[in-house]
């Protein structure tokens, strides 16, 4: 029983943090246990307008990326280990805000969690995950590109996730030809 009583202040502090953090403008969390900060699509759009201050990583499969991606995004190679990724990107991220995204933010949150500390040690200013992923971006009618230029198409990743798209008629499983 003493351990339970000793935990009460920590629980109350955690509840207060969860209640006050959004009001204080603090970053939301993709996964509260993982601690990966998120950035909303509108805030990412503002960040992207400030050229040279950010690095954007797409953590989706190659076919998803070729169907569409946010302009300027760099695709994270499938299967790359965290240490190799950090080694390859440490110069690029120095002094920049780093944002990861995938379709829904699950894969990108997992990857960001694995590299966040090392990217920050390498000099990144901050590391975020796009809240709601590319679906949120697309649903807000924000710009996407493919190899041919601007596009409205989006790869839905899995058939059952197509329902998260507000414009499911724009789902594409392969790049434009």
In the chain, which residues have pLDDT < 70? 1-35
Q: Which domain holds residue 98?
A: 27-170
How many domains, the chain? 1
Q: Answer yes or no: is 4 within a domain.
A: no
Q: Answer yes or no: is 151 within a domain.
A: yes
pLDDT value of position 13: 36
pTM, entire model? 0.81
CATH number at residue 74: 3.40.250.10
Q: Answer yes or no: is 8 within a domain.
A: no
Look at the block and give the residue holding tokens 């070729």. Answer: 66
């Amino acid at each position: 029983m003493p351990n339970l009583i000793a935990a009460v202040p920590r629980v109350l502090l955690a509840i207060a943090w969860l209640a006050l953090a959004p009001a204080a403008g603090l970053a939301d969390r993709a996964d509260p246990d993982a601690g990966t900060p998120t950035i909303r699509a509108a805030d990412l759009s503002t960040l992207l307008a400030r050229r040279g201050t950010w690095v954007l990583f797409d953590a989706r499969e190659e076919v998803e990326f070729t169907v569409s991606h946010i302009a300027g995004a760099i695709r994270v190679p499938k299967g790359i280990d965290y240490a190799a990724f950090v080694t390859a990107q440490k110069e690029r991220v120095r002094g920049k805000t780093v944002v990861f995204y995938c379709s829904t933010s699950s894969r990108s949150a997992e990857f960001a969690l694995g590299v966040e500390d090392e990217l920050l040690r390498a000099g990144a200013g901050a590391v975020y995950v796009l809240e709601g992923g590319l679906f949120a971006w697309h649903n807000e009618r924000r710009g996407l590109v493919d190899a041919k230029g601007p596009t409205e198409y989006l790869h839905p990743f899995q058939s059952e996730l197509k329902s998260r798209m507000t414009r499911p008629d724009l789902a594409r499983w392969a790049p434009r030809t």
